[in-house]
Amino acid sequence: MSTSNTPRRKPFTGWHMTAILVGGFGIVFAVNFLMASLASSTFGGVVVENSYVASQHFNRWLDEAEKEKALGWKVAVSRRDDGHIVANLTDVPGYPTVVAEARHPLGRKPDSLLKFQEDASGAYVSDKALPEGRWILRFDIEAAGHTWRGEDQVEGVEVMGQPVP
């Protein structure tokens, strides 16, 4: 039996190891850059400007939230076909002043300040229409010497079964 007919394997050299390391780390870097770019493109802003200052106000915010909860006021929000927002208030005395800041949850669209006026049905209707999409409304309601703050979401239309962001 002759050993000259068996194929010879090429030796594993340093160049092979270098190619494996460069290729492996190249894939890791590519995935990291892809994930970082996707993350930064979907979150548009800052939650608070200065976290230290926000932490100093935290206990006061909790106290205010307890007082607001004790009032028992509630807001139910819906969108009309013309894009105006309708706020139905529950247990709010007198003639309240209703204002809301509309914020896009991903920060892609600019914030909008909405002022509400009471219509004939007793609901409060925004002074301007909101663009389509999801919005977070931060309400400030003042009535009978009290202030109530709360949030509600308004969903946009669906396109091909998917909500509009």
* Domain containing residue 19: 12-43
Number of domains in the chain: 2
Q: Are residues 79 and 157 in the same domain?
A: yes
Q: What is the pLDDT of residues 139-160, one digit of tens each?
A: 999 998 888 888 888 876 443 3
Instruction: For residue 2, tell me if it sits in a domain.
Output: no
Instruction: For residue 27, tell me if it sits in a domain.
Output: yes
Q: Are residues 39 and 76 in the same domain?
A: no
Predicted local distance difference test score (pLDDT) of residue 59: 92
Q: Are residues 26 and 99 in the same domain?
A: no
Q: Are residues 93 and 153 in the same domain?
A: yes
Q: Report the alpha-carbon distance of residue 27 to residue 34 in Å, rounded.
A: 11
Q: Report the alpha-carbon distance of residue 4 to residue 159 in Å, rounded.
A: 69
Q: Are residues 30 and 89 in the same domain?
A: no
Q: What is the pLDDT of residues 59-107, one digit of tens each?
A: 998 998 898 888 888 888 988 888 899 998 888 888 899 999 998 877 6
Instruction: For residue 109, tell me if it sits in a domain.
Output: yes
Q: Are residues 88 and 142 in the same domain?
A: yes
CATH number at residue 95: 2.60.40.10
Q: Is the pTM of this model over 0.75?
A: no
Instruction: For residue 120, tell me if it sits in a domain.
Output: yes
Q: Are residues 23 and 79 in the same domain?
A: no
Q: Are residues 39 and 80 in the same domain?
A: no
Whether the pLDDT of residue 47 is over 90: the answer is no
